[in-house]
Amino acid sequence: MTTIDADAVESMHQLRTGWRTLVLDADPRADVRDLPGVSVRWAESRFVFWNCLTLTEIGIEPDLLADRLDSAAAIMREKSRPGFLWVFEDLLAPPAREALPGAAARAGLELAFSGTGMAGDILPLPEPRHPELTFVRVRTEEHVAAYADLNSRAYGFAIEDGRDGLVGSELWRTGIHAYLGLRHGVPVTAAAALECDGRLFVVLVATAPEWERQGFGEAVTRKALHEGALATGLTRATLHATAAGAPVYPRIGFAANSPIRFYATTTS
C-alpha cells in the first residue's frame, strides 16, 4: 500500500479550498466543480492563475492517472482562455509518478513550470522589518492595481491581464491580509495571506524584477503572515512556491512537501 505524506494531501486541499474563494471572487459565475478525481476552479480570467484544475485522488496508479489527465485536458480545451493543471506528484503512487511525463504528453499537456508545496506550524512571527521597506495593507483600488502590476511583472504577464484578475475586488481590499512593500513610496514587493480551512494560505507573492534578491519578498511575506496571525490566531501556514521562489520560504520556517507540476495544453 502506498504511503502518502499528509502534508502533500493538505497542500492539495489548500489549493482546492483557497482557489474556490479566489476564483469565485474574480467571477461569481466561474466554473467551480469537484468531479471524480479532478477539481475545476476556472474563472475564464485573463489572469491565468485564476484558471486552474488539479488532480485530487490519493495514491492513484498509472491507468487511472492517464484517464484523469485525459479528462482534465478535455476540460481545458473547452475553455476560451488558457490555464494550468496542477499535479501534486506526491499524491501519486510511485509507478504513476514515473508514468506522469509520458501520460501528460499523450493527453496533449506540456509542462509549463514546476513548484513545490510548503507548510509549517510557524506562527506567530515577530513583527518584520526591512531597512529599505515600509509596509502598507492593501485597502484601496490603487493598492490593488499596484499588487496586480507587481504580479504581472514578476510572472511575465501583460499589465492588463493582471488587473483583470484583481482590480475591483472587495475581497482583496477587506478579506485578505494583503500587503505591499514600498521603497521610497514606490511598491516593489507584495504578499498576501488568506484564511483557509484553519490555516493562513500565502498567495501571489511577487517582487519587481529589478528588486529581486534584496530580501524584499521574504520581508513582505513575513508581514502578511504576522498580521494574519494577529487577526486570526492561526498557527499554521501553507503556500505553493515556484522553483524560483522556493529558496526563500525555509528561512521563514516552511518545510517542503510535494513537488508540483503545472501543465498547459499543447498548442499543436
Residues 88 and 152 in one domain: no
pLDDT band with cut points at 50, 70 and 90 for residue 36: very high
Residues 174 and 94 in one domain: no
Say yes or no to pLDDT of 268 above 70: no
Sign for the CA dihedral angle at 197, 236, 127, 149 comes to: negative
What's the mean pLDDT in 46-51?
A: 97
pLDDT bracket for residue 3 (50, 70, 90): confident
Residues 161 and 223 in one domain: yes
Strand order in the sheet with 109-120: 31-35, 38-42, 51-55, 84-88, 255-265, 109-120, 237-242, 199-207, 186-196, 177-183, 134-137
Residue 248 placed within a domain? no
Does the structure show a pLDDT above 60 at 15? yes
Give the mean pLDDT of 2-26: 93
Task: Verify that 204 and 142 share a domain, yes or no.
Answer: yes
DSSP-assigned letters across all residues of 206-248: EE-GGGTTSSHHHHHHHHHHHHHHHHH----EEEEEETTTGGG
Query: Is there a domain that residue 140 lies in?
Result: yes
Is the residue at 249 inside a domain?
no
Question: What are 139-174's pLDDT values in tens digits?
Answer: 999 999 999 999 999 999 999 999 999 999 999 999
- The pLDDT assigned to 117 comes to 97
Q: What is the pLDDT of residue 4?
A: 77
> pLDDT of 93-125, one tens digit each?
999 999 999 999 999 999 999 999 999 999 999
Same domain assignment for residues 104 and 202: no
Question: Does the residue 172 lie in any domain?
Answer: yes
Please say if the pLDDT value at position 2 is more than 90.
no
**Do 95 and 163 belong together in one domain?**
no
233-249 tens-digit pLDDT: 999 999 999 988 899 99
Q: For a pLDDT cut of 90, what percent of the chain falls above it?
A: 96
109 and 12 inside one domain: yes
CATH of the domain at 218: 3.40.630.30
Same domain, 94 and 167: no
Same domain? For 86 and 11 the reply is yes
Do 216 and 189 fall within a single domain? yes
Average pLDDT of the residues of the chain: 96
Identify whether residues 100 and 143 lie together within a single domain. Answer: no
At 175-195, the pLDDT tens digits run: 999 999 999 999 999 999 999
Q: Is residue 157 part of a domain?
A: yes
Residues 88 and 169 in one domain: no
Q: Domain span at residue 108? A: 6-117+259-265
Residue 126 in any domain: the answer is no
d(CA 253, CA 128): 14
Half-sphere exposure of 28 (CA within 13 A, CB side): 3
Kindly state whether residue 209 falls inside one of the protein's structural domains: yes
* 11 within domain boundaries: yes
Query: Domain count of the chain?
Result: 2
